[in-house]
Structure 1
Amino acid sequence: MPQQDLERLKKEYQRRADPAYYKNTYSFSNPAYVFMLQSQERALLSCLKEFGFQSLNQSKILEIGCGRGGVMLGFLRYGATASNLSGIDILLDRVVLAKQTLPESKISCADGQFLPYESAQFDILLQFTAFSSILDPQIKRNMASEMLRVLKPDGVILWYDFWWNPTNPQTAGIKPKEIKILFSNCVFKLHKITLAPPIARLIVPISWALAVILESLKVFNSHYLAIITKQ
């Protein structure tokens, strides 16, 4: 049931809000986290350049599931204008934190199935590991439909999510076939990136160079960066 999955999702995000969870997993003192973040950033900037986004200062950008605003903050570094950044999240406490981080941006507590925007509003839509946290297929279909609705005809969706995570039953990896079903009648470019976190946490503290080599093989990479455009 969609509503049951939303309640489960809220509880799971509240669990992840534990300071100890963030301190151990998403800390810049954690070399594996830094490795994964830098790898993701290089791939993302390369895709933006490829699709003609040399400058982001005029681009209207929306993130689905913005959390505390970390990804949006990254886009400020890339040249986006704070007032052109929007984000939605289902948890009010995360929205409050994101607004403190990005006071000039438009951040709302909202369900991704019912985006509070008019159609064809955004140049870039961001989805970073929000869909894999949803288990109900109807919710995912509804969210994908809403994302396409608010995207400009010449806009792009930047999708970053994992296809495989056997250690967390609260998530479901999404493979390219499912992405293409969710966003039917669209054009896709997919890059398999990010050395699987369990491997990165093991290898990076020992040898950064070895981690780079393993990631370049793509066999051990756990995420897809997909660039989705309308037909």
Structure 2
Amino acid sequence: MTQDESRRVQERYARRDAAADARRYALTDPYALAAWQERQRAIVRLLAGRDLAALSVLEVGCGSGGNLQDLLRLGVDPARVQGIELLETRAFHARAVLPAACRIQSTDALHADLPDASQDLVLLFTVFSSILSPGAQQALAARVWRWLRPGGAVLWHDFTVNNPRNPDVRGVPWRACASCFPRAVCRRAA
């Protein structure tokens, strides 16, 4: 991501976090619970038949570690889990809730220290809707593609339409998602 877009993402999240009602994302909220359950069912379907303990997994934009916790519960080996989080406070929380074997970097994903072809699975959950620059989206997608091993997969979960109550995000239509990874075979989970 460009330095300017990285700074803008940080500013948008700081503004949103200061105003946000954390309960809206808690699993005690019926909408949040239903969305989480739907996402879990899709992940289980997509990963069916894979030896989860053998996968090297990276989440870009890992937040406070919730998605990585979900994968650990499904059987992913903590020693093979990595997260990248732009916001240091969220990376701190992820380190606090995840096993010590999980490696969490607080950095811009374009500056992350990861070797090419090192990941079997890369998660991008509500990342691209937070990056409003198409150029920064393309740069991040190219970086993620380089991190994937042959036969690896990207799990992309994001908004496809704009949220009229949140000007800090922009929906990413299916065709835009697919255009970020032009050499990939793209499939919808649902």
Which structure: greater strand fraction? 1
Q: TM-score, normalised by structure 2?
A: 0.92
Alignment-derived partner of residue 29 in structure 1:
28
2:130 & 2:152 partners in 1: Cα distance?
25
Structure with bigger gyration radius: 1
1:19 & 1:139 partners in 2: Cα distance?
26
Shift of the alpha carbon at 1:69? 0.5
1:177 & 1:58 partners in 2: Cα distance?
31
Question: 1:113·1:139 contact (CA, 8 Å) conserved in 2?
Answer: no
2:31 & 2:146 partners in 1: Cα distance?
37
RMSD of aligned C-alpha atoms? Answer: 1.7
Alignment-derived partner of residue 151 in structure 1:
148
2:72 alignment partner AA: L
Alignment-derived partner of residue 109 in structure 2:
112
Count of aligned pairs between the two proteins: 188
1:141 alignment partner AA: Q
Query: Which 4+ residue blocks in structure 1 deviate beyond 3 angstroms?
Result: 1-4, 15-20
Shift of the alpha carbon at 1:185? 1.6
2:125 & 2:163 partners in 1: Cα distance?
19
2:161 & 2:76 partners in 1: Cα distance?
31
2:185 & 2:125 partners in 1: Cα distance?
19
Q: TM-score, normalised by structure 1?
A: 0.76
Identity %: 31
Question: 1:130·1:161 contact (CA, 8 Å) conserved in 2?
Answer: yes
2:146 & 2:46 partners in 1: Cα distance?
22
Alignment-derived partner of residue 8 in structure 2:
8
1:88 & 1:69 partners in 2: Cα distance?
10
Question: 1:127·1:157 contact (CA, 8 Å) conserved in 2?
Answer: yes
1:38 alignment partner AA: Q
Alignment-derived partner of residue 139 in structure 1:
136
1:121 and 2:118 correspond: yes
- After superposition, where does 1:172-211 map in structure 2 within 5 Å? 172-192=170-190
